[in-house]
Amino acid sequence: MKTLGSYVQKHWATYTMAIIFMLISIALDMMFPMVTKTIVNDVLVGGVYDNFAFLLVAIMLIGLGRSVFGYFKEYTFDKNCITIGTEMRKDLFDHIQGLSLDYFDDASTGELMARVKDDIDKIYRLVGMAAMMGMEVILNAVLILYFMVRIDLVLTILPVTFMAICGAAAIIMEQKLDKVYDEISEENALLTTIAEENLAGVRTVKAFAREDYEIKKFYEHNKRYHDLNMQEAKVMIRFYPVFQLAGTLLPVACAVFGGISVIHGKMDLGSLAAYIIYARNCTWPMEELGWITNDISSSIASLKKVKKIYKEHSTLSLDPLAKHVDKVVGEIEFDNVSLKLGDKQILSDISFTLHKGKTLGIMGQTGSGKSTIVNLLQRFYDPTKGTIRLDGTDIRKMDLSQVRSASSVVMQDVFLFSDTIEENIRMGRREDMTMETIVDAAKKAKADSFIDKLDDKYETVIGERGVGLSGGQKQRISIARAISKDAPILVLDDSTSALDMETEAEIQKTLDEIKSSSRIIVAHRISAVRNADEIIYLKDGYVAERGTHEELLRKKGLYYETYVAQYGALDVMEVSA
């Protein structure tokens, strides 16, 4: 993770400008009491009016200059912190995108959303408003004390004492807020997760009449979030009066003790007026100290959460000398491949070879490891044993983006973006895909029949995750997306399960005609794999059976039993005969 300092250093020029504007503003603030001192001593007390007009103009110019430079200071700091926030959010998102799939097996979407949005928002305030106010408070306090000491050293004991009390209160408050903000950040992530899951699965919630249960669950976390924020408010309420009281009493105390000094001739009236103005200028830094402490505590708590994500790294071993081949043909070889995740053995000694233009069917019971083979081919995971080769090259030694772009995959869990149908199909080759290719892919996937009936046809915007379409329609769009990519490897992971038998047969016929791609078909239906050049049947992560459709039927093993369950024994006897 980049440090906050590195982001600030990148924008050192504009930060320097902002600090210059701040210094000019503070310098003008320091000049105002001295002009007031001259007016009181020379004009009001001394009766000399020669420079009175000039002094009034000076006050107006100081006020105008303070406003102008204050504006540019605020604008520059805000611009910097917004820019840095944008860069930090992009870097965090890039890091998350670079993590391997095993991280997302356990991470919750809501938590990641909270880190990318809410926590980054809090962190960039640390280099924006909080940083600006912190520097301004320190510079003001130092310069004000300097000028106060020049006027009356003994009287300056008062503001020093008040500042020390406020500083101690700020430190104690920060310690108390640190734990509260840590818990608020965690609860915010949980609340976001629950809201995201329920909104995404609203149809499932309603289908099972779980509204009351989900509302109760959300209420419990919302109540917890409320209670934590109340804890924060109670800490602030307990300490903030200290800053307000100090800011109110200081000018009064200075006026009283300074007035006594004037009465005894130890201070002139103009110096007292200037001292009281400096004392009043002391009050806002003390009052702002509480809000600055609050912002810093919140930002640090969020920074800890973001750093935790940056500590996660991809478990994939990336070769710095990764090979980029000129053209991927689509020859696939699994050589004694095994995969173990944690203590669970997922696959064991899987071996097969798929030549260009040929089709491999993969069947097996749920949880037997069918989809894991697809994940390994995409290099979402690396095998714990064995080698996967693409065109004779170990995919671990190939460029990762080339490995993944070589395959066009229709996933088991169909995901469509909230965009037009055209854009959902185009995403395989967004830059160079023509409309003619899109329409042709839709026809091959048998999706054109329902697309043409829509009012806006290919410009129809579909809802999030394809809401508004049937399961079969979503699958056909997903298949069209894969076909249009025209990759050397085509993978269909249980991609026709929501289709009727007739549509599935038509699509299978189309796929059989695509000789330019090697095809892997993962399915539960015999009909989806029966025309494959080879079929492997998985059981508990092992290859239990392999062969062509006819060969497996003659073995009368697991594949035979599946066929009987789907078609009946009489049909098997007829095929065998």
Split at pLDDT 50, 70, 90, the class of 249 is confident
Query: For 9-60, how does the pLDDT look when each residue is reduced to its tens digit (9 = 90+)?
Result: 888 888 888 889 888 988 888 888 888 888 888 888 888 887 888 888 988 9
Residue 263 pLDDT greater than 50, yes or no: yes
Q: Does a structural domain hold residue 465?
A: no
Mutual angle of helices 501-512 and 471-485, in 10-degree steps: 0
* 3-state DSSP assignment of residue 452: coil
* 3-state DSSP assignment of residue 487: coil
Distance CA(123)–CA(301), nearest Å, equals 9
Split at pLDDT 50, 70, 90, the class of 577 is very low
- What is the rounded average pLDDT for all residues in the chain? 81
Residues 278, 148: contact at Cβ < 8 Å? yes
Residue 6 pLDDT greater than 50, yes or no: yes
Q: Does a structural domain hold residue 44?
A: yes
Q: Does a structural domain hold residue 332?
A: no
Give the β-pairing of 332-341 and 344-354.
Answer: antiparallel
In degrees rounded to 5, what are phi and psi of residue 268?
-85, 165
Q: Does a structural domain hold residue 226?
A: yes
pTM of the model: 0.69
Distance CA(377)–CA(387), nearest Å, equals 11
Q: Does a structural domain hold residue 197?
A: yes
Distance CA(208)–CA(200), nearest Å, equals 15
Q: Does a structural domain hold residue 211?
A: yes
Predicted pLDDT of residue 409: 83
Long-range contacts at 429-437 (CB < 8 A, ≥ 24 apart): 429/484, 429/485, 429/486, 433/484, 437/484, 437/486
Residue 150 pLDDT greater than 80, yes or no: yes
The enclosing domain of 184 has a CATH number of: 1.20.1560.10
Cα distance from N-terminal residue to C-terminal residue, the chain: 66
Residue 350 pLDDT greater than 60, yes or no: yes
| 193-200 mean pLDDT | 73
Q: Does a structural domain hold residue 25?
A: yes
Distance CA(81)–CA(126), nearest Å, equals 8
DSSP label of 545: E
Query: For 360-416, how does the pLDDT look when each residue is reduced to its tens digit (9 = 90+)?
Result: 989 888 888 888 888 888 888 888 898 988 888 888 888 888 888 888 888 777 777
Identify the domain containing residue 150 by its residue range: 4-310
Query: For 56-92, how does the pLDDT look when each residue is reduced to its tens digit (9 = 90+)?
Result: 898 899 889 888 988 888 888 888 888 888 888 888 8
Predicted pLDDT of residue 464: 57
| 456-477 mean pLDDT | 74
Query: For 428-465, how does the pLDDT look when each residue is reduced to its tens digit (9 = 90+)?
Result: 676 777 888 888 888 888 888 888 888 788 888 876 55
* Residue whose pair of structure tokens reads 């130890």 in the numeric block: 266
Give the total number of structural domains in the chain: 1
Q: Does a structural domain hold residue 240?
A: yes
Residues 309, 103: contact at Cβ < 8 Å? no
Predicted pLDDT of residue 497: 62
Structure tokens, 2:
């980049």
Q: Which has the minimum average pLDDT: 105-119, 259-273, 324-338, 430-444?
A: 105-119
Predicted pLDDT of residue 243: 76
Residue 572 pLDDT greater than 50, yes or no: no
* Residue whose pair of structure tokens reads 């979503």 in the numeric block: 474
